[in-house]
C-alpha cells in the first residue's frame, strides 16, 4: 500500500494557499477602499501588514504544495514541471494555470519590495494582476483539485469567489473620485 502522506499534504497545502490568497486579496481591497464603517477600529497600516503577511504565508503554502507534489508518487510531477507550465501530465491545462498562478503570486509579492524602484503607477498596474491571479488559482483548484466535487470544497470556492466579488464591488462603489488635473496649456477658443 502506498503512503498517502504527501498526497494529503499536497491537497491540504493547495487549499490552504487558496484560502490565504483569498484573505490577502480581501485585505488588499480593504486597504485600498479605506472603509468608513469600521471607523478608527481598523488601522490601515495594520491591515496593510496583514495583507503582505497573508500573501507571504500563501506563497509558503504554494511552496509546500509544489514540494509535496514532487515527493508524492500518485502524480508524476518534476521540479521543472513546477516552473514550466504544461509539463505536468496530470490535467495539463489546469496544472499549467496553477504554475502561472504561483509565478504571478511570487512576482506580485516581490513587487512590494520594488515599489519605489518601479514607481507607483507600474506597481499599481501590476497589483491589478491579483485579480487574474485569483482567477487562475480558482480555475486551477476547480479543474485540477481532487476534492472539487465534495460539497465543502464547492462551498469553499463559492464563498471565496463571492467574497472577492462583493469586496471588489464595494470598493468600486465606495471609491473616492480621483481629482481631475488642472489644464496645463493655454486656452482654446
Average pLDDT over the chain reads 88
Confidence of residue 75 (pLDDT cuts 50, 70, 90): confident
Sorted by where each begins, the domain ranges of the chain are: 5-174
Q: pLDDT at residue 66 above 60?
A: yes
pTM of the model: 0.87
Residue 102's pLDDT is what?
Answer: 96
Helix (H, G, I), strand (E, B) or coil at 111: helix
* Closest by Cα among 32, 45, 19 to 138: 19
Residue 172's pLDDT is what?
Answer: 86
pLDDT digits (tens, 9 = 90+) for 123-166: 989 999 999 999 999 999 999 999 999 999 999 999 999 999 99
Query: What distance in Å separates the CA atoms of residue 78 and residue 169, rounded to the nearest whole number?
Result: 40
Please, are residues 108 and 122 in contact by the beta-carbon 8 Å criterion?
Answer: no
pLDDT digits (tens, 9 = 90+) for 106-135: 999 999 899 899 998 999 899 999 999 999
Query: What distance in Å separates the CA atoms of residue 55 and residue 43, rounded to the nearest whole number?
Result: 19
Amino acid at each position: 500500500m502506498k503512503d498517502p502522506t504527501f498526497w494529503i499534504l499536497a491537497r491540504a497545502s493547495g487549499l490552504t494557499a487558496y484560502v490565504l490568497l483569498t484573505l490577502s486579496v480581501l485585505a488588499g481591497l480593504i486597504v485600498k477602499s479605506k472603509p468608513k464603517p469600521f471607523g478608527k477600529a481598523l488601522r490601515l497600516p495594520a491591515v496593510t501588514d496583514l495583507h503582505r503577511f497573508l500573501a507571504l504565508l500563501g506563497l509558503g503554502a504554494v511552496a509546500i504544495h509544489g514540494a509535496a507534489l514532487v515527493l508524492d508518487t500518485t502524480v508524476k510531477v518534476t521540479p521543472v514541471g513546477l516552473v514550466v507550465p504544461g509539463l505536468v501530465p496530470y490535467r495539463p491545462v489546469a496544472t499549467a494555470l496553477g504554475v502561472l498562478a504561483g509565478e504571478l503570486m511570487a512576482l506580485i509579492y516581490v513587487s512590494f519590495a520594488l515599489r519605489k524602484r518601479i514607481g507607483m503607477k507600474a506597481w499599481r498596474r501590476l497589483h491589478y494582476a491579483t485579480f487574474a491571479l485569483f482567477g487562475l488559482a480558482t480555475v486551477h483548484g476547480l479543474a485540477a483539485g481532487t476534492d472539487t466535487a465534495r460539497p465543502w470544497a464547492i462551498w469553499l470556492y463559492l464563498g471565496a469567489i463571492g467574497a472577492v466579488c462583493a469586496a471588489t464591488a464595494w470598493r468600486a462603489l465606495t471609491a473616492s473620485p480621483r481629482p481631475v488635473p488642472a489644464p496645463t496649456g493655454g486656452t482654446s477658443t
